[in-house]
Structure 1
Amino acid sequence: MNVLLTGATGFLGSRLAKVLNSKPDVSLTAAVRCLIEIPAAHIVEVQGLDTNTDWSTALTNQQTVIHAAARAHIMKDEVPDPLAEYRRVNVDGTFNLARQAAAAGVKRFVFISSIKVNGEQTPLGQPFTANDTPAPEDAYGISKWEAEQGLQQLASETGMEVVIIRPPLVYGPGVKGNFASMISLVKKGLPLPLGAIHNKRSLVAVDNLVDLIITCIDHPAAANQVFLAGDGHDLSTTELLRGVAEAMGKPSRLIPVPASMLKLGATMLGKKAVAQRLLGSLQVDISKARSLLGWEPPVSVEEGLKRCFK
């Protein structure tokens, strides 16, 4: 099977490229912005991800496209109009690739979206499902939702199958962003006032997400479906910090401060969004992938955290 992968140099894409390249029945082509050494049978240089990108060389003889490239979620975006920039790359750039893929005879287009399409938080014990009405709140989530809608319309017009995967926070070796910041705090052994948080958050180990993506490459039941990704085991912020400390072989110095006090303090300091991520819940229901695809996350949360430090 011939597979084109975009975003092959990113956190997810690099791991996906390595696994795909090890499969004897897959001939992998990686589209990159500059020619570098990555695990792939073929490497094609593509300039940018927008409406002007020519994908003709990369799409030659491809059966499946896995689109993992995107303008990623940025906490402190300094561009004048973040939504316009997200749309330029994540919506217009995705449409351009998908239209060319359909014209080139690609059978299936696997799009890596985001749980932010569903929203930012869930009531405790009421996880997001793949069938929920989308309610994105920030520019990144909006751009991913608009891209999903365009791809679904293109699928109905052209017959090219589209599979959409929405992961929550992805973690693993080399992870960056908020998860890396949390690891740094635990590694320093700093006491943290997060020892009494009883929320629940879904995460997905990068190896579990890679396994789901590969399952969706050619599974007949995946065609034109939306799936949520996850480890299948939710953690409170307190449990997560303890798990990270254990995986590192470090003590977890967590002070049991009530969540209500932390919320109040964060609001007074103008850090309400930070408090929401640490104290609020965001759960996902992966039962659709389990029932429709027969998929089970191969890596436990405990093993996934250990792999961050191997």
Structure 2
Amino acid sequence: MNEGPPESIDGYRLPVFRLVGADGECDPELCQALAEEISRRGLRPLAVRLSAGRRPVTAPDLQRGGLLRTGVDRLELSCSPELPLPGIAPAARSLSLLADLCQRYDVVLATGDWDLPLNTLLIATGATAGPVAENHFRVADPAWGTGRVSDLLLSWLELLCREEPVWACVLIGGRSSRMGRPKHLLRTDGGVTWLEMTVARLHALADGVVLAGAGEIPLGLSHLTRLPDVPGVAGPLAGILAAMRWQPGVSWLVVACDLPSLTEEAVRWLLDARRPGRWAIIPRRSRDSHVEPLLACYDRRCLIWFEELRLTGSLRIGMVARRPQVHSPVI
């Protein structure tokens, strides 16, 4: 199991679909129609087109009026291979830009001169669905109409959503006023610490487990990655930010250390609730109760929300549940 952060951006894992036509260029009107159909289904799409031009693709393009609002957001970018950024390959620069855009949108439809490893949909007359032989390539016929083509894209997007790596972060460091010792070191009747039991449950379903916060841990967990709290931030927010900054390209299960009744079934229930458009799964005990932000699954895009809390000085992490992209099922 990989216990370190990813070294580069994997374009195939991004919710980005490159749309191409039989002659290489996808009909701009079709791309716009697909984006509008996806928007009607409750997701937030971005249509972005890259063309050869005189300026390199850089983040400042987003600040110069390139974003056009036409029912759905549309972005026009230009790129010049003659104007590279020192030490940064054009492909890496473009992938980085796409990854930044994915922080704000559910799906990005890309057309134009993208010479990148991206999931690609060929839209051409006479195309047949057929068996899916290539994980990163699909075909569609424009005669299907925007509804059926959108169905294909959204089923593909859901597959990407479910395949996104999920890491788990256990927040430790709190003390039990009743027991007079750290909560994560309290033991069950069988002699196992709450922390050991929680980690065992998470290891069965997560791609990796880290511990956030200071304090003594059982010797048997010394192999786990320890993340120090973000300086100047108090409470659970410090550990959540530490984890999401350390691995910003994955989803995170955030779990408190004082949940001795946590089961694998409960964790699987959280993971199964993931869908495109749901950036966080934060359950609640009843329809009228508060949410449980320390037994929740957060998409990588939630990092922006937690950074905003830090900047405002708020420690109420449950406030993110007010966002429209949050799903709060009743336990």
Fold match, TM over 0.5? no
Task: Pick the structure with more helix per residue.
Answer: 1
Highest CA radius of gyration, 1 or 2? 2
Give the TM-score of the pair, scaled to structure 2.
Answer: 0.26
Task: Pick the structure with more strand per residue.
Answer: 2
Give the TM-score of the pair, scaled to structure 1.
Answer: 0.27
